[in-house]
Amino acid sequence: MKVSQALTLLPNVEQTVNTKALDKALQQTNDSFGAMLNKAIGDVNSLQSEASKAVESLVTGEAQDLHEVMIAVEKARTSFDLLMEIRNKTVDMYREIMRTQV
């Protein structure tokens, strides 16, 4: 089979790629990632606030259970560590993309 014959069997690439649909899909992906990141930041912030309140109540003598305070602090620390790792990986990914475009 000749190359010219093979090319006639392929559908027209311009017809199969709908650029408007692709742009819309990329925008939805960007919006959903941004929304997910904002939600994660909000969750970490609320866990940090809860941990602060738990420590403050322990220091003032309102809370009697040290275990609950430690659990709240560890939840806040773990969620913050996870958020920082997501940030680091995102920055690394961005740098890699920029490096490959040069």
pTM: 0.65
| Residue 77 domain-assigned (yes or no) | yes
| Residue 95 domain-assigned (yes or no) | yes
| Residue 5 domain-assigned (yes or no) | no
Domain tally for the chain?
1
pLDDT of the residue at 64:
83
| Residue 25 domain-assigned (yes or no) | no
pLDDT in tens, the chain (102 residues): 455 555 455 555 444 455 676 666 667 666 687 888 889 999 999 999 999 999 999 999 998 889 999 999 999 999 999 999 999 999 999 999 999 987
Q: Among all chains, which residue has been given the structure tokens 């929304």?
A: 35
